[in-house]
Chains A and B, each alone.
Chain A
Amino acid sequence: MRTLDQLKPKETGVVAHLMGAGNIQQRLLEMGVSDGAEIEVLRFAPLGDPMEIFVRGFHLTLRKSEAALVELESV
């Protein structure tokens, strides 16, 4: 299964499932990283982490460790 942190800039994916539970999962969900959301990876920070994505019409930054909880639908 591909996860969000594996995408490269300009690649897109659709969220299939969020792993984990609790605080981090809920934050991601509230910010629109939930099942069915289309995500485009925009860039990684100069030191390789965190990353910036485009989701539900706005820009969001998150760490790769958090993006690794986001499973994407297989293409």
Chain B
Amino acid sequence: MPKTFALAGNPNVGKTALFNALTGLSQTTGNYAGVTISRNHGTIHLGEVKIDLADLPGAYSLAARSPDEIIVADILLNQRKDESPVEGIIVVVDASNLERNLYFVSQLMELKKPFVVALNMMDIAERRGYEIDHEALGKALGAPVVPICAHTRLGIDELRKAILQLHDGDVKVSEAGCEFPENQAKAVSRLAEVLRGQEKRLGRVVPVPEANRILIDQGGYAELRITRQLGPEFQAELEACRAAALANGSTLAAQEAKARYGWVKEILALSLQRPATRKHSRSERIDNVLTHKLLGTLFFLAIMMVVFQSIYSWAGPVMDLVDGGIGAVGERVGGMLPEGGMLQSLVVDGMIAGVGSVLIFLPQILLLSLFISVLEDCGYMARAAFLMDKLLGWCGLSGQCFIPMLSSFACAIPGVMATRTISDRRDRFTTILVAPLMSCSARLPVYVIMISAFIPDNKVLGGLFSLPALALFLMYALGVAVAVPIAWVLKKTIFKGEKPPFILEMPSYKVPQPGVVARKVYREGKEFVVRAGTLIFAVTIVVWALAYFPRPAAVAEQYEAQRVEAEAAGLDAEALEARLTEINDLESGDYLRGSYLGQMGHVVEPVFRPLGWDWRIATATIASFPAREIIVATLGTLFNLGADEDEESEGLLATLQGATWPDGRPLFNIAVAISIMVFFALCAQCGATLITIKRETGQWRWPVLTFVYMTVLAYVGAFIAFHVATLAGLGA
């Protein structure tokens, strides 16, 4: 078994670039058991020696509050039974930001594991005029310090040598470290002693550094985990230790910061020369524009436009390709199976079409994750949060929630996945729950059909806009208008709590690393495809079965007779072809009407009557719960057209315009069209999104809640829309 080392460091210090440089292509990625934090391992090959390297999430401190930080603390303290123990640490430190980076190093030193320091970003430090004596720094830390530049691979060979020393046991556990007031040191040993006495109940020995975190981090993760197990007597003991530990600070956290930053200052006095006056860095000059009140806002809007436009329209041709490819595969495979049989329908209409309806989103997902990775990697994401924080604060969220929300306009799936960058759990979950309200691209076909069939092409607002364009805009605005109060309510109820702090590092801008970006995009795409191949696949098969069975023999006989008749009528080839197609369409319409799905539509018709719908609209809506864009094909079939309809087909528009109630009244009017659009705007008709929510939150209750609240909202919204529109005279 190779030894396991951990790669640790603050966020934004180039840890991923170094991880790639050290491990190359030997990486495995997955998730830590039970959480959606990605677990990246790789192998370092040093001649004969192999080392397993764990790339830990970036952290500023071992005082754990977010899920990421909990993993870091647990792995480093060997508190996860399912992970092999860490025998050494490679600490990545930003040379241009030593003071704050060494704060974390001072915490790592207390773990009493051997470590080496990779002093990254030497190029930036030099540009800023910092002179770093890395040997003096190494002496003060009691560990090898290797200056490197991860993206140019400068110093990597020296670092590998130091890692080999670490592996061979030539790096001793450092004796150095910062000193705490005597009171505190005593209180920590006392607390550790108490916890040792509880070994049986806890089922493990609590290491001293963890006891230290329990003591200092009031209400932190370390404390909560222990008090949950040990109950109130322990809480009293803990408070007694805390009172005894306080020496020269207002709180223990302040006391800790004082000790650590004091120690860092001493070390830096020996090893770092800073220029007397601060040079304004390139990063600051960029920020003078990009976070400027006017220019920064304009730039932000421009970037968002580009992102949105690209997922919306650049992805289009690729999506058409995917769509065409899936259609071709369906045809090819269908041709190999018995014509008109159940197997053919299952494979072509069920499996291939079902998986296709999900894979079609892959281009959007790849494109968006490309944008997000680039924006994240170059450092702009923090600026976007800075610009948007106040705006989102009005509905109780923070600036970090903006990008996921915006992404959801293209597709909620990458949007929900993008919430991983939100550090606060409550903010993240709120964002996930409202993200599907944004009008995604799959809603567009519904809007286009309804608007082009029923909204008159008049000019409004002094001829500036056409009525259809305005209607389309209003459908998009509706999602946002509803999301704001919903988010606000969620933050006041389920996700109530102290407003999370918005204390965010603004990292220096840097050129994005193609390798880092490519890996991220690949990973997201792969996760998505795997999901499409599993649960979503199963769901579409179920809906297919409901729409296919029972298929009474009487229908088949009736249409078979018509076919025979048509062939006997002596029509020319073209007319015969048209007649046969017509018969086939009528037949599939009859089948669908008689299917379990069609029967369900009849049963639920009274439920949808108040929205102005008949059973056909109801059936099409129910069939499109796995994926809303299915409605186009289903409407086509139900209204006796072939299933190969798209939103621009003249035939479908004309048929819908001519559709009537049994008593001959027209079925559709503006009010019904608005009611359908509002329903589709607000309803959670996307199995893929719900499954993504399950994956990202780890619990079924969140997709269930999303589904329930959105469906209720959709029904109520459509009801109100229909009746208001009818009152306004649009119901005729």
| Residues in chain A within 8 A of chain B (CB atoms) | 17-18, 21-32, 34-37, 42-43, 45-50, 52, 54, 56-63, 66
Contact = CB atoms under 8 A, between A and B. Distances in A.
A27 B503 contact: yes
A59 B278 CA distance: 13
Interface string B229-258: 000000000000000000000110110111
Given A25-B253, A61-B502, A35 B258 contact: yes
B254 A66 contact: no
Interface stretch (B57-65, B430-438, B649-657, B694-702): B57-65
Given A46-B387, A57-B97, 19 more contacts: A22-B218, A22-B219, A24-B501, A31-B503, A34-B258, A45-B387, A45-B389, A46-B293, A46-B294, A50-B390, A54-B278, A56-B97, A56-B100, A58-B505, A59-B283, A59-B505, A61-B504, A61-B505, A63-B501
A21 B218 CA distance: 9
B103 A60 contact: no
Given A23-B65, A24-B501, A49 B390 contact: yes
Interface in B471-523: 498, 501-508
A31 B387 CA distance: 20
B100 A63 contact: no
A39 B205 CA distance: 42
B386 A17 contact: no
B675 interface: no
A60 B284 CA distance: 12
A32 B100 CA distance: 6
Nearest to B293: A46
A61 to B, nearest CB: 5
B391 interface: yes
Interface residues of B, number: 50
Contacts of B74: none
Chain A: interface secondary structure? mixed
B99 A45 contact: no
Given A21-B251, A66-B501, A29 B257 contact: yes
B98 interface: yes
A21 B391 CA distance: 27
B63 A30 contact: yes
Nearest to A24: B501
Interface in B440-496: none
- Between B100, B391, B399, the greatest number of chain A beta carbons within 10 A of the residue's beta carbon is seen for B100
A31 B406 CA distance: 29
A60 B504 contact: yes
Contacts of A26: 63, 217-218, 220, 253
Contact of B61 (A30, A60, A63, A66): A30
Contacts of A23: 65, 219, 498, 501
Task: Determine which residue in A23, A36, A49 has the highest number of CB atoms from chain B within 10 A of its CB, and name it.
Answer: A23
B100 A57 contact: yes
B506 A52 contact: yes
Query: In the complex, which of the residues B219, B257, B261, B506 has the most CB atoms of chain A within 10 Å of its own CB atom?
Result: B257
Given A46-B293, A59-B505, A21 B253 contact: yes
A61 B386 contact: yes
B390 A25 contact: no
Contacts of A17: 250
Contacts of A56: 97, 99-100, 261
B481 to A, nearest CB: 20
A23 to B, nearest CB: 7
B692 interface: no
Contacts of B60: 30-31
B67 interface: no
Contact of A45 (B100, B278, B390, B508): B390
Contact of A57 (B98, B257, B506): B98
Nearest to B125: A57
Contacts of B503: 24, 27-28, 31, 60-62, 66
B96 A57 contact: yes
A60 B506 contact: yes
Interface string B555-596: 000000000000000000000000000000000000000000
B291 interface: yes
Contacts of A50: 386, 389-390, 399, 502
B147 to A, nearest CB: 17
A60 B274 CA distance: 20
Contacts of B296: 46
A43 B291 contact: yes
Nearest to A48: B390
B382 interface: yes
Contacts of A58: 97, 100, 505-506
A27 B258 CA distance: 14
- Of the candidates A32, A42, A54, the one having the most CB atoms from chain B within 10 angstroms of its own CB is A32
A42 B61 CA distance: 25
Contacts of A60: 503-506
- A-B residue pairs, 5 tightest by C-beta: A29-B257, A47-B390, A59-B506, A34-B257, A26-B253
B297 interface: yes
B424 to A, nearest CB: 10
Contacts of A30: 60-61, 63, 103, 257
10 contacts: A24-B501, A27-B501, A30-B60, A34-B261, A35-B254, A46-B296, A50-B502, A57-B97, A62-B501, A66-B502
A62 B218 contact: no
Nearest to B262: A36
B426 to A, nearest CB: 13
Contact of A32 (B96, B261, B382): B261
Contacts of A29: 253-254, 256-257
Nearest to B60: A30
A45 B100 CA distance: 24
Contacts of B261: 32, 34, 36-37, 56
Given A23-B498, A28-B503, A30-B257, A45 B251 contact: no
Contacts of A18: 250, 254
A32 B250 CA distance: 16
Contact of A63 (B65, B254, B502): B502
Contacts of B393: 49
Contacts of B506: 52, 58-61
Given A25-B251, A57-B97, A63-B389, A31 B65 contact: no
